[in-house]
Amino acid sequence: MPLRRVFVIVLSAALLFTFNVTVKANDHLRTQYLHSHLNRVLVTRDQDLSSKLNALVSVASNDHERAWLIYRWVTNHFKHDSHLASKIGDPKNHSLDQLYKLAGGSCAVYANVVQRLMQQAGLEVKTIYGLAKGGAVSARRNGKAVNHVWNAVKVNGEWRVIDATWGAGYVGNEGFQRDQSDLFFLIPPEQAVLSHFDEADELGQQRQFDVNYRLFSQLPEDALYAASIGFDARAILEVRRTHLNVPLVSTFDQLPGSFKVIQAPVAGRLGRTQHRFKIESLVYEELMLLQGKTWIPLQKQGRVHSLMLKPNKGELLVMGRRPKQQDFEALLAYTVN
**CATH 3.10.620 for the 22-186 domain, yes or no:** yes
> What pLDDT, on a 0 to 100 scale, did the predictor assign at position 243?
86
Cα 65 to chain center, whole Å? 17
Pairing state of beta strands 286-291 and 294-297? antiparallel
- How confident is residue 16, by pLDDT bands cut at 50, 70 and 90? very low
Q: Cβ(248)–Cβ(267) under 8 Å?
A: yes
Q: Which residue has the higher pLDDT, 10 or 143?
A: 143
β-pairing verdict for 250-251 and 304-309? unpaired
**Which pLDDT tens digit goes with each residue over 74-101?**
999 999 998 999 999 999 999 999 999 9
What is the structure's pLDDT at 135?
76
Closest CA to 204 of 195, 193, 216: 193
What are the sequence ranges of the domains in the chain? 22-186, 260-336
The pLDDT assigned to 23 comes to: 60
Distance separating alpha carbons of residues 84 and 80, to the nearest angstrom: 9
Q: Are the C-beta atoms of 181 and 167 separated by less than 8 Å? A: yes
Question: With 80 as the cut, is the pLDDT of residue 194 above it?
Answer: yes
The HSE-up count of residue 241 (CA atoms within 13 Å, CB side) is 12
| pLDDT over 70 percentage in the chain | 93
Q: How far is 78 from 104, CA to CA, in rounded Å?
A: 5
- Residues 198, 212: Cα–Cα separation, whole Å: 10
Would you call 269 exposed, middle or buried from its count of C-beta atoms within 10 A (0-12, 13-18, 19+)? middle
- Least confident range from 8-12, 47-51, 92-96, 136-140: namely 8-12
| Residue 15 in this model has a pLDDT that exceeds 60 | no
3-state helix, strand, coil in the chain (%, to 5): 40, 30, 35
Residue-wise pLDDT for 273-320, tens only, equals 999 999 999 999 999 999 999 999 999 999 999 999 999 999 999 999
Distance CA 67, CA 61 (A): 11
For the cut 60, the answer to whether the pLDDT of residue 35 exceeds it is yes
Full DSSP string of 79-148: EE-HHHHHHH-SGGGS-HHHHHHHTEE-HHHHHHHHHHHHHHTT--EEEEEEEETT----EEETTEEESE
DSSP 204: S
pLDDT-above-90 percentage for the chain: 80
Strands 158-162 vs 139-141: parallel, antiparallel or unpaired? unpaired
The H or E element containing residue 49 is helix 49-57
Coil vs helix vs strand at 213:
helix
CATH architecture of 260-336: Sandwich (2.60)
Tally of CB atoms within 10 A around 25: 10
What pairs with residue 177 in β-bridges?
A: 170
Please give the pLDDT value at position 112.
98
Length of the chain: 337
Grade residue 172 by pLDDT with cuts at 50, 70 and 90.
Answer: confident
Give me the sheet containing 125-132, strands edge to edge.
Answer: 158-162, 148-155, 125-132, 196-197
- Report the alpha-carbon distance of residue 195 to residue 332 in Å, rounded: 20
| Exposure class string for 282-309: b at 16+ Cβ within 10 A, else e | eebebbbbbbeeeeeebeeeeeebbbeb
Task: Report the candidate in 74, 232, 96 with the shortest Cα–Cα distance to residue 166.
Answer: 74
Decide if pLDDT at 9 tops 90. Answer: no
DSSP assignment letter at 91: G
Distance, in Å, from the CA atom of 49 to the CA atom of 17, rounded to the nearest integer, reads: 44
Summary count for the chain: helices (H), strands (E)? 12, 20
